[in-house]
Amino acid sequence: MEKTELKDAFAEFKNLKNIDRPTMMGVLEDVFKTQLAKTYGSSDNFDIIINIDKGDCEIYRNREVVENVEDPNTQIALAEVNKDSDEYEIGETYAEKVEMKSFGRRGILNIRQNLQGRIMDIEKANLYNKYIARIGEIFTGEVYQTWSKEVLILDEDGNELRLPKSEQIPGEHFKKNDTVKAIIKSVEMKNNTTPYIVLSRTSNEFLEKLFEQEVPEIYDGLITIKKVVRVPGERAKVAVESYDERIDPIGACIGVKGARIIGIVRELRNENIDVLQWTSNTQLLIQRALSPAKISSIVPGEDGKIKVYMLPDEVKKGIGKGGCNIRLASMLVGQEIEVWRELPKQDEEEEDVLLSEFDNEIEPWIIEKLQSIGCDTAKSVLALSPADIAKRADLEDETVAEVIRILRSEFEE
């Protein structure tokens, strides 16, 4: 029975994938030596012969032939070895085969459990090494189970990968057997458990890899992605550059009639993607990043912020829905950008009043919030709808109504 159990453990170990033969032999020998040391006190004088193919093992104990035995594990009496013949002399080595039954039922069980534990450790290490080398690669798998905080996805070998809620595009919902594409973000070993493999669909690298898949010129290195910024599920900006003047990097990324980029947009749940040409000229990069809004002037601020002046009709385009466009432009440039209204010349001749002139009627913090959305004059505020002001400046409806009342009274005759 004991031998059958060991053969089963051998078979399990032999069938383990991605392990070289020397490592396998070393592990098996180490497992048996550990048990020998427990049984006999030391394993230094034992020879272990393992036949992996047959799932068998032979163990021999080598003892020195002596007149008087002091250590039964390493010595054997001359009278005992020569009781049937006179072949051995003092000082020679006597090799005796150790039967598996000598370990006892508990010993056999220890060997099996130790071997299974080592198998699990090797499987964990192999899985960890496999995916640590694949960080940054696109992974496609099938949803096995969904929870409120994460989605469990299996690879072709049944290994578990996780897609946390924080790494999912807002509004995404998955169900069992759905196919999911994501980037391998990280691999961690926690408390000696199975490696925790994290996927992401919100990282900038995921969008970059999708472009590599869809645009051969990027994969071949003819076009370089210089920078990617995203507000997952809403909008992204991808700055590209080509060192070959014959290649239009923007046209190549978009494709004929948008054939290349449409697949990426669909994969990202209709996330709007702006592809623009990279430049080291900061002002030119800002102009491209804030497109389609037209910029009147750009003034670097002393506080590190960049002030961008636009005509009133262009401000909304530059800021974008919920401030998304201006935020992405700031991320792309690496500096905070503020949009300021610039009045047309014909309006400059008309009466208008700076918001700062109303500090005796409107609280300073409210004026600052209005200025932060590009409204620095009374007319620039009155040009917007109350709902738009409340949302963009994060003000209560009642506060906005009072501000509008105060500003309108300034122009009433």
CB burial class (10 A; 0-12, 13-18, 19+) of residue 291? middle
Q: What is the CATH number of the domain that holds 36?
A: 3.30.1480.10
Claim to verify: residue 112 and residue 43 sit in the same structural domain: yes
Domain that holds residue 352: 348-411
For residue 137, being part of any structural domain is answered with: no
Give me the pLDDT at residue 168, please: 96
Residue 12 confidence (pLDDT) above 90: no
**Percent of the chain scored above 70 by pLDDT?**
91
Which residue, 302, 298, 306, 293, is CA-closest to 333?
306
Give the pLDDT confidence of 179-197 residue by residue, as tens digits. Answer: 999 999 999 987 777 899 9
Q: Predicted confidence band at 288 (pLDDT cuts at 50, 70, 90)?
A: very high
Task: Identify the H or E element spanning 46.
Answer: strand 46-51
Q: Give me the residues paired with residue 375 across strands.
A: none
pTM of the shown model: 0.68
Which two structure tokens, joined as six digits, stand for 321? 């829905």
Give the pLDDT confidence of 199-210 residue by residue, as tens digits. Answer: 999 999 999 999
Range of 38-52, 283-297, 399-413 with top mean pLDDT: 283-297
Give me the pLDDT at residue 1, please: 38
Average pLDDT over residues 131-151: 95
Q: What is the CATH number of the domain that holds 364?
A: 1.10.150
Q: How far is it, in rounded angstroms, from Cα 271 to Cα 229?
A: 12
Parallel, antiparallel or unpaired: strands 93-98 and 196-200? unpaired
Residue 19 confidence (pLDDT) above 80: no
Give me the pLDDT at residue 345, please: 54
Which residue, 342, 403, 349, is CA-closest to 378?
403
6-15, 248-257, 353-362, 368-377, range with the lowest pLDDT: 6-15
**Percent of the chain scored above 90 by pLDDT?**
43
Residue 117 confidence (pLDDT) above 90: no
Claim to verify: residue 176 and residue 245 sit in the same structural domain: no
Claim to verify: residue 153 and residue 63 sit in the same structural domain: no
Q: How far is it, in rounded angstroms, from Cα 271 to Cα 235?
A: 5
For residue 135, being part of any structural domain is answered with: no
Average pLDDT over residues 310-330: 89
Average pLDDT over residues 329-342: 90
Peptide bond just before 344 cis, omega within 30 deg? no
Mean model confidence pLDDT for the chain: 87
In one letter, which amino acid is 37? A
* The three-state (H, E, C) secondary structure of 219-254, written as one string: HCCCEEEEEEEEECCCEEEEEEEECCCCCCHHHHHH
Claim to verify: residue 209 and residue 331 sit in the same structural domain: yes
Measured torsion, CA atoms of residues 109, 111, 114, 117, in degrees rounded to the nearest 10: -70
Phi-psi region of 386 (alpha: psi -120 to 50; beta: other; left: phi over 0): alpha
Average pLDDT over residues 19-43: 84
Residue 261 confidence (pLDDT) above 80: yes
102-111, 123-132, 363-372, range with the lowest pLDDT: 102-111
What SS3 state is found at 406?
A: helix
For residue 61, being part of any structural domain is answered with: yes
Check: CB of residue 46 under 8 Å from CB of residue 69: no
Give me the pLDDT at residue 131, please: 95
Q: Predicted confidence band at 14 (pLDDT cuts at 50, 70, 90)?
A: low
Q: Predicted confidence band at 286 (pLDDT cuts at 50, 70, 90)?
A: very high
Claim to verify: residue 336 and residue 221 sit in the same structural domain: yes
Check: CB of residue 103 under 8 Å from CB of residue 112: no
Q: How far is it, in rounded angstroms, from Cα 93 to Cα 164?
A: 63
Range of 81-95, 285-299, 381-395 with top mean pLDDT: 285-299
Instruction: Tell me, rounded to whole angstroms, the distance of Cα 231 from its chain centroid.
Output: 17
Claim to verify: residue 222 and residue 124 sit in the same structural domain: no
Claim to verify: residue 303 and residue 228 sit in the same structural domain: yes
Claim to verify: residue 275 and residue 196 sit in the same structural domain: no
For residue 136, being part of any structural domain is answered with: no
Q: How far is it, in rounded angstroms, from Cα 43 to Cα 29?
A: 11
- Among 92, 108, 130, the domain-final residue is 130
- Strand stretches in 278-395, DSSP E: 297-300, 306-310, 337-341
Give me the pLDDT at residue 88, please: 84
Average pLDDT over residues 145-173: 94
Give the pLDDT confidence of 119-138 residue by residue, as tens digits. Answer: 788 888 889 999 999 999 99
Total structural domains within the chain: 4
